Amino acid sequence: MHNPSEQNFIQQLSIDCVIFGYHQKQLQVLVNKLNFNGNFWALPGGFVFQNEDIDKAANRILQERTGISEIYLDQFYVFGNATRNNLNFIDELIALNPHMSIDEKSNKVEYEWFTRRFISIGYYALVDIRKVVPQKTDLDESIHWINIKDLPSMIIDHNDIVLKALESLRVNVDEKRLAFNLLSETFTMKEAQELYEAIFDKPFARNNFQKKILDLDILDRLEKKFTGAANKAPFLYRLKK
């Protein structure tokens, strides 16, 4: 197990990342199954070095988990309730993993690090899922893309963090042109609409949607997509530079 207390991290401060992808017309979230006996799931996260900007820390964590460095990410909320700590989760974990070092109290400092209250800065990221090769850390048994509607129960408040990230994504999706980070570089209007329907979890009327998106004036229209049926070929679009 890592021992963060020996490194030069800011104390009681963590970063939790909600990494959104899009696949099979559904939003997906990257989550880790922890490498212990028991069914412990968590968002990718980490800590901030004393000499590190918080945005750089989030970028470092995201790059470790996705293998890609150019990621759209933004902080969206700070989770800072006084009761926010690992105690419940650690107790259950120790009960199920009687031989782990944290139980033997061989490292009291490490135990104290993990059981203190943490204030966590939530970042969300939007990635093209085809470019990501999910990377697990020593702490993970495995790492998975999971449909946002099928997420398992996660440790601490990680399920709430996902809900809040989704809420922020919905609020900012137009203003910050976020959604298109989830698609390939070029896409049809139908693909854009399906993406918006996944984000908002509701259908949009085709004509209204097209007008709304075009009114944003953020897309370039490219050549028609070749489908074999020339008269029905849809246009391709790309986000303006």
Q: Is 178 in the site for a copy of itself (CB under 8 A)?
A: no
Q: Is 55 in the site for a copy of itself (CB under 8 A)?
A: yes
Which residues, 6+ apart, have CB-to-CB distance to 82 below 8 Å? 117
Burial of 13 (0-12, 13-18, 19+ CB in 10 A): middle
Q: Is 160 in the site for a copy of itself (CB under 8 A)?
A: no
**Amino acid in position 181:** N
Alpha carbons 124 and 171: distance in angstroms, whole number? 13
Q: Is 11 in the site for a copy of itself (CB under 8 A)?
A: yes
Q: What is the layout of strands, in order, in the sheet containing 235-239?
A: 186-188, 235-239, 219-224
Among 78, 96, 109, 218, binds a copy of itself (CB under 8 A): 78
Q: Is 53 in the site for a copy of itself (CB under 8 A)?
A: yes
Q: Is 208 in the site for a copy of itself (CB under 8 A)?
A: no
CB-nearer residue toward a copy of itself: 172 or 210: 172
Q: Is 202 in the site for a copy of itself (CB under 8 A)?
A: no
Other beta carbons within 10 angstroms of residue 197's beta carbon come to 15
Which residues, 6+ apart, have CB-to-CB distance to 181 below 8 Å? 72, 126, 127, 128
CA 105 to chain centre: 33
CB-nearer residue toward a copy of itself: 23 or 116: 116
Closest CA to 161 of 119, 114, 115, 111: 119
Contact segment (CB under 8 A) with a copy of itself among 104-112, 125-133, 136-144, 168-176 equals: 168-176
Closest CB 230 distance from a copy of itself, rounded Å:
42
The token duo for 191 is 């693909």
Closest CB 97 distance from a copy of itself, rounded Å:
28
CB-nearer residue toward a copy of itself: 36 or 77: 77
Q: Is 177 in the site for a copy of itself (CB under 8 A)?
A: no
Residues found near a copy of itself in the complex (CB under 8 A): 10-13, 48, 50-56, 75, 77-78, 80-82, 117, 119, 121, 171-172, 175
